[in-house]
């Protein structure tokens, strides 16, 4: 039988040889194993990461709720403190009236009326210097004898408005007129008060 020229050691036409039907190549197994290990490592990493991520989320919610609660309380306290009346006393000023009569006002006013009616200029100036301001003393020191008031005080002297630094006193006279004296506080004076102005009311 003649041999086919195509026949040779490397040519075969029948079923594959046993060597050709061998197992899966080693490189494929190694690659599959590496992939499996990577998948396992990725799954473990994800499982470890999930609890740490969920933890702060749960803890953040109560923190926000607790921090939000004191806000109304603090605002109510500050509002109460700002609206509470009488928290600080008002210092005495010229506009602050006193409930009682300041000491020395009445004595200074009575002594001034005596000096104001004094006929002698020298005696009048000496008396006025103790109970009147320098300006008023200068005005009354050269008063003409004809202008000196002859009427006498009648009734009780009335101390009207008075503060820590100013006061007024009214006095009726025997001619049915009335005069008002404005006094200012002067701690260095004899009675602690000086008459600064005298004006007729009637």
The pTM is what?
0.52
pLDDT digits (tens, 9 = 90+) for 71-130: 444 433 333 333 343 333 333 344 466 667 899 999 999 999 999 999 999 999 999 999
70 pLDDT higher than 90: no
From residue 184, how far is each of 109, 168, 181 by CA, in Å? 11, 9, 10
Reported as a single tens digit per residue, the pLDDT across 131-184 is 999 999 999 988 888 888 889 999 999 998 889 899 999 999 999 999 999 999
The encoded tokens of residue 117 equal: 């009616």
pLDDT at 98: 62
* Residue 13 pLDDT class (50, 70, 90 cuts): very low
Contacts of 95 (CB under 8 A, 6+ apart): 163
Which helix (H) or strand (E) segment is 123 a member of?
helix 121-131
Distance CA 142, CA 124 (A): 10
CA-CA distance, 166 to 47, in Å (whole number)?
88
Whether residue 43 is predicted with pLDDT greater than 90 in this model: the reply is no
Given this model, what pLDDT does residue 41 score?
83
- Which pLDDT value is given to residue 88? 33
């Amino acid at each position: 039988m003649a041999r086919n020229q195509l026949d040779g050691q490397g040519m075969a036409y029948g079923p594959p040889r046993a060597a050709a039907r061998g197992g899966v190549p080693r490189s494929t197994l190694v690659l599959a194993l590496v992939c499996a290990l990577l998948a396992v490592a990725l799954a473990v990493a994800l499982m470890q990461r999930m609890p740490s991520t969920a933890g702060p989320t749960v803890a953040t919610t109560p923190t926000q709720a607790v921090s939000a609660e004191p806000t109304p309380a603090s605002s109510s306290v500050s509002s109460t403190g700002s609206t509470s009346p009488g928290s600080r006393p008002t210092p005495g000023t010229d506009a602050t009236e006193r409930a009682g009569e300041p000491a020395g006002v009445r004595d200074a006013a009575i002594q001034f009326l005596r000096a104001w009616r004094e006929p002698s200029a020298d005696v009048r100036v000496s008396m006025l210097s103790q109970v009147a301001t320098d300006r008023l003393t200068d005005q009354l020191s050269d008063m003409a004898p004809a202008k000196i008031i002859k009427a006498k005080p009648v009734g009780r002297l009335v101390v009207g408005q008075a503060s820590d630094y100013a006061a007024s006193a009214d006095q009726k006279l025997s001619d049915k007129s009335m005069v008002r004296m404005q006094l200012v506080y002067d701690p260095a004076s004899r009675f602690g008060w000086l008459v600064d102005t005298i004006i007729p009311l009637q």
